[in-house]
C-alpha cells in the first residue's frame, strides 16, 4: 500500500460561498511535490492518469452544497468528544437498506461473546442494545456513501421498561471526498474508509470483528504522522479566527531522555494566523514548502528563546479552535462548520493507509 505523507494537494475543496470549479494544480507544483514524497510507489497524479489535484482552499471550507444541508443540530453530538481513528477496507455486499437486520445480528453476536465471557465490562444485569443509523449529511461528494453510525447502549435487563438507556459506545463509518477509492472498487463494494470510535476499546474489537466477518473488511488503527500533524496545524491555523478562539497549540514529546520531557507551545490564534498569512502565498493552494516554512518560523522563534531544537523532538499533538489531533490517531472536532473539512482530510489519510 501507499504509505507516507498526505499528498499535499489531495483533498479537493471548493472555496465558499460561491461554488467554484475544482482548481487544478500547475504542473510545476506537482514537480515540486515529488521530492518530498520520498516513499516508493507514490506516483504523481499525472502518472496515475487522474487530473492533477487542486490545492487546499486556504480557509478549508468544505464542499458548499453539502455544508448547506448539514444540520449542525444533528452533528452536534460528534463535537467535543475524543474519537479513535481507524481505516477500514471496502465492505463487501453491504446494503444500507438492511440496517435493522445488521443491528439485530450484531446484537446477537455481542450477546454470544458475553456469554462466552469475552470482553465487555458491562454488569450482569444489563442488556446491550444495538442501533445502526445513517448520517446522510456527512459526505463530501455525490459519490460518497452516506456515513453510518453504530451505537451500543445499555439498559437494565431486570426492569427494561423502567430503566434508562445509557449510551456506552459509538462508532461511525464515513467517507468524505473519497472518490479516489470509490472510483476504483468493483461494484459490490461499499467505501467507508474512515471509522471513528468513542468508548471502551473492547467494543471496537467486538464490533470490528463482526464487521470483518460479515463484510470481509479489515480495520486498522490510523496513526497520524508528525508530518500530517504539521499540515493540520498550518491549515487549521489559517482558518478564520472567531473571537475568543483557542490558541494554536503544538505539543512535543522527548521520551528518550533519562527524564522524559513534554513541551507545550501555544500561540495566540491571531498571531499564528498572521504568521501563516505571510507565509501562504498562493490563494487556494497550500504547498509543502509553505507548511515547512511556517513550522520553521515557529521552531526558530522557540530556539531564539530557549536554544532547544524543537524540530529534533517528536510532535505528538496539535490543537486549534477547529479541532485537535493526536499522533496515536485521536481526533476531537470542535466546530461543526469545519467538520466536513476535517473529515475530508482524515478520509484521505485512511485511504492512504488502505492503498
Q: Toward another protein, which CB reaches closer, 181 or 318?
A: 318
The region of 20-28, 56-64, 144-152, 289-297 touching another protein under the rule CB under 8 A is: 289-297
Instruction: Name residue, grid cell 521520551.
Output: 255
Q: Toward another protein, which CB reaches closer, 201 or 242?
A: 242
Q: Dmax of the chain from CA atoms? A: 68
115 scored as a contact of another protein (CB under 8 A): no
255 scored as a contact of another protein (CB under 8 A): no
309 scored as a contact of another protein (CB under 8 A): yes
In whole angstroms, the minimum distance from the beta carbon of 230 to another protein comes to 16
Instruction: Name residue, grid cell 524543537.
Output: 310
257 scored as a contact of another protein (CB under 8 A): yes
Q: Toward another protein, which CB reaches closer, 92 or 265?
A: 265
Rounded alpha-carbon distances, angstroms, from residue 332 to 318, 319, 336: 10, 9, 11
Q: Is the peptide bond before 17 cis (omega within 30 degrees of 0)?
A: yes
In whole angstroms, the minimum distance from the beta carbon of 275 to another protein comes to 7
In whole angstroms, the minimum distance from the beta carbon of 327 to another protein comes to 18
Residue 278: which H helix or E strand, with range?
A: helix 269-279
x-or-dash string of contact with another protein, 211-250, rule CB under 8 A: ------------------------------------x---
The region of 93-101, 123-131, 148-156, 299-307 touching another protein under the rule CB under 8 A is: 299-307
Question: Judged by CB under 8 A, which of 267, 318, 330, 334 binds another protein?
Answer: 267
In whole angstroms, the minimum distance from the beta carbon of 310 to another protein comes to 9
In 10 A of CB 162, how many CB atoms?
8
308 scored as a contact of another protein (CB under 8 A): yes
Cell numbers that stand for 61 in this block: 471550507
Q: Toward another protein, which CB reaches closer, 18 or 257?
A: 257
64 scored as a contact of another protein (CB under 8 A): no
In whole angstroms, the minimum distance from the beta carbon of 228 to another protein comes to 23
278 scored as a contact of another protein (CB under 8 A): yes
Rounded alpha-carbon distances, angstroms, from residue 163 to 114, 155, 158, 159, 235: 21, 6, 9, 6, 46
Report the chain's terminal Cα–Cα distance, integer Å.
Answer: 4
Residue 98: what are its φ and ψ, rounded to 5°? -110, 25
307 scored as a contact of another protein (CB under 8 A): yes
CB 85 within 8 A of CB 222: yes
109 scored as a contact of another protein (CB under 8 A): no
CB 128 within 8 A of CB 107: yes
Instruction: Name residue, grid cell 479566527.
Output: 241
Residue 353: which H helix or E strand, with range?
A: helix 339-354
Question: Judged by CB under 8 A, which of 112, 157, 306, 328 binds another protein?
Answer: 306
Residue 41: which H helix or E strand, with range?
A: none
Instruction: Name residue, grid cell 479537493.
Output: 12
266 scored as a contact of another protein (CB under 8 A): yes
Indicate the burial class of 136 (C-beta count within 10 angstroms; 0-12, 13-18, 19 or more): middle
Question: Judged by CB under 8 A, which of 301, 332, 337, 355 binds another protein?
Answer: 301
Distance CA 326, CA 332 (A): 9
264 scored as a contact of another protein (CB under 8 A): yes
Query: Angle, to 10 degrees, between the axis of helix 226-237 and the axis of helix 269-279?
Result: 100
305 scored as a contact of another protein (CB under 8 A): yes
283 scored as a contact of another protein (CB under 8 A): no
In whole angstroms, the minimum distance from the beta carbon of 31 to another protein comes to 21
Q: DSSP class of residue 336?
A: G
Residue 107: which H helix or E strand, with range?
A: helix 99-116
| Site for another protein, rule CB under 8 A | 247, 254, 256-268, 271, 274-275, 278-279, 293, 296-297, 300-302, 304-309, 312-313
Amino acid at each position: 500500500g501507499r504509505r507516507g505523507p498526505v499528498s499535499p494537494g489531495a483533498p479537493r475543496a471548493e472555496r465558499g460561498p460561491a461554488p467554484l470549479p475544482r482548481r487544478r494544480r500547475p504542473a510545476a507544483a506537482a514537480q515540486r511535490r515529488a521530492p518530498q514524497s520520498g516513499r516508493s510507489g507514490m506516483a504523481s497524479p499525472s502518472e496515475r492518469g487522474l487530473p492533477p489535484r487542486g490545492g487546499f482552499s486556504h480557509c478549508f471550507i468544505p464542499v458548499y452544497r453539502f455544508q448547506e444541508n448539514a444540520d449542525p443540530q444533528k452533528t452536534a453530538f460528534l463535537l467535543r468528544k475524543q474519537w479513535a481513528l481507524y481505516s477500514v477496507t471496502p465492505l463487501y455486499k453491504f446494503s444500507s437498506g438492511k440496517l435493522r437486520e445488521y443491528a439485530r445480528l450484531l446484537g446477537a453476536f455481542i450477546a454470544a461473546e458475553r456469554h462466552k465471557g469475552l470482553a465487555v465490562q458491562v454488569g450482569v444485569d444489563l442488556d446491550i442494545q444495538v442501533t445502526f443509523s445513517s448520517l446522510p449529511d456527512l459526505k463530501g461528494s455525490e459519490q460518497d456513501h452516506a456515513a453510518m453510525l453504530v451505537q451500543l447502549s445499555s439498559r437494565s435487563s431486570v426492569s427494561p421498561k423502567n430503566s434508562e438507556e445509557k449510551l456506552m459506545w459509538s462508532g461511525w463509518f464515513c467517507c468524505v471526498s473519497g472518490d479516489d477509492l470509490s472510483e476504483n472498487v468493483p461494484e459490490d463494494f461499499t467505501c467507508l474508509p474512515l471509522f471513528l470510535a468513542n468508548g471502551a476499546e473492547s467494543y471496537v474489537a467486538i464490533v470490528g470483528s463482526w464487521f470483518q466477518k460479515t463484510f470481509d473488511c479489515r480495520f486498522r488503527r490510523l496513526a497520524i504522522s508528525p508530518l500530517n500533524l504539521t499540515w493540520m496545524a498550518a491549515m487549521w491555523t489559517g482558518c478564520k479566527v472567531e473571537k475568543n478562539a483557542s490558541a494554536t497549540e503544538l505539543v512535543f514529546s522527548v521520551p528518550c531522555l533519562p527524564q522524559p520531557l513534554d513541551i507545550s507551545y501555544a500561540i495566540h490564534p491571531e498571531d499564528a494566523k498572521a504568521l501563516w498569512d505571510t507565509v501562504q502565498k498562493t490563494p487556494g493552494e497550500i504547498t509543502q514548502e509553505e507548511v515547512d516554512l511556517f513550522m520553521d518560523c515557529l521552531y526558530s522563534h522557540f530556539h531564539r528563546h530557549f536554544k532547544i531544537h524543537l524540530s529534533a523532538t517528536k510532535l505528538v499533538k496539535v490543537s486549534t479552535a477547529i479541532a485537535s489531533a493526536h499522533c496515536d490517531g485521536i481526533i476531537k472536532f470542535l466546530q461543526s462548520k469545519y467538520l466536513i473539512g476535517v473529515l475530508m482530510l482524515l478520509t484521505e489519510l485512511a485511504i492512504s493507509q488502505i492503498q
